[in-house]
Amino acid sequence: MTIRRLFAIVLLATGVLAAAPAFAEDAAKSPQRPFRIYMALWRGWEEAAQGFQDYFANQGIPVELIVRDAGQDRAKLPDFVAEAKRLNVDLVFTWGTTVSLDMLGGGLDVDPAKHITAIPAVFAIVSQPVAAGLVPDMASSGRNITGTSYLVPVETQMNLMQSYRPFRKLGMVYNPLERNSLVAIDEISAVGRQMGFELKSIPVDVDGGRPLAASIPAKVAALKDAGAEMLYIPPDTFLNVNREILTGAALERKLPSFAAAENPVKDSKALFGGVYRYYTVGQLTGLKAAEILVRGKAPAEIPIEPPKKLSIILNMPVARQLGIYPPMKLLGIAEVIDPAKDK
């Protein structure tokens, strides 16, 4: 895919809520009490959760949010399932692949005794709903759940990276305990064979069932020594939490990095990324929840989809430090982060 094609895609992309249905009239016919929504989060309140909440406020739909944060502890998730059932909420919102699979089940592993099945549910910030085994198809879950994906298609990401700086060897540090990273390795490797580049992936060290952040710099150095020309940062909570270590190590070794999610670019030292913004994903998930709660649609009738608007985010201070400046056409369509110019 050429820069010209990427430019056309971004210009043609419309805001995800541009044609969103108005729910105000239908909401007025709904029960007077607020809809009760159980929100199961993985790493606290963030942009997607805020976008979800704001959608209801903007549409004038009264909701009561019951918010629970697992704090990246899977042991808490069975208690969340039990509590949501006990409270008999109107809808469950799950954040991320781990929370969604553990609370909603997937594939043949759906058990009414340990999963949410009778209560309708929506999921958000799941990068690969089908590959992760959460749903069989993006057109329909076939059951009482629907949701959104937030990962820009891998082929589009790779083309975007090649349009900035062509490479023959791509590096990736990953958490071997994270399902999303394992899926990313398979997909990028397949795309690499078609596009003519090699993926070199190195897992972080694990001790006592936990990935070790202290091992990240050495893994980045090993990738650089192995000839990696660019670092890919997959959708992974562990890497996101430790993004300063990861992107700092890459910058120290003059290794440009591309992120599949916004935080490593927006809040750290990744060079650039092609992403769907978390806030927009949250709003789209809110729209799907409203279709269930207000319009009475069955979740299985609502397709799983990403936002329509791709955001290209560029960290200009990192570009300057690396001495790697983007092509002008790419610069013209990117959201540029440049604190020096904002002052």
Domain ranges, ordered by start, for the chain = 12-150+277-301, 154-275+311-342
Write out the two tokens for 239: 């890497």
Pick the CATH number of 154-275+311-342 from 3.30.1540.10, 3.40.50.2300, 3.40.50.800, 3.40.50.1100: 3.40.50.2300
CATH number for region 12-150+277-301: 3.40.50.2300
**Same CATH topology for 12-150+277-301 and 154-275+311-342?**
yes
Counting every residue written for the chain, the total comes to 343
CA distance 137 to 294: 25
- How do the pLDDT tens digits run along the chain, 343 residues long? 444 445 444 433 434 344 445 665 665 555 568 999 999 999 999 999 999 999 999 999 999 999 999 999 999 999 999 999 999 999 999 999 999 999 999 987 899 999 999 999 999 999 889 988 999 999 999 999 999 998 999 999 999 999 999 999 999 999 999 888 888 999 999 999 999 999 999 999 999 999 999 999 999 999 999 999 999 999 888 999 999 999 999 999 999 999 999 999 999 999 999 999 999 999 999 999 999 999 999 999 999 999 988 999 999 999 999 999 999 988 888 999 886 665 4
CA distance 72 to 321: 34
Write out the two tokens for 156: 């589009």
pLDDT for residue 102: 97
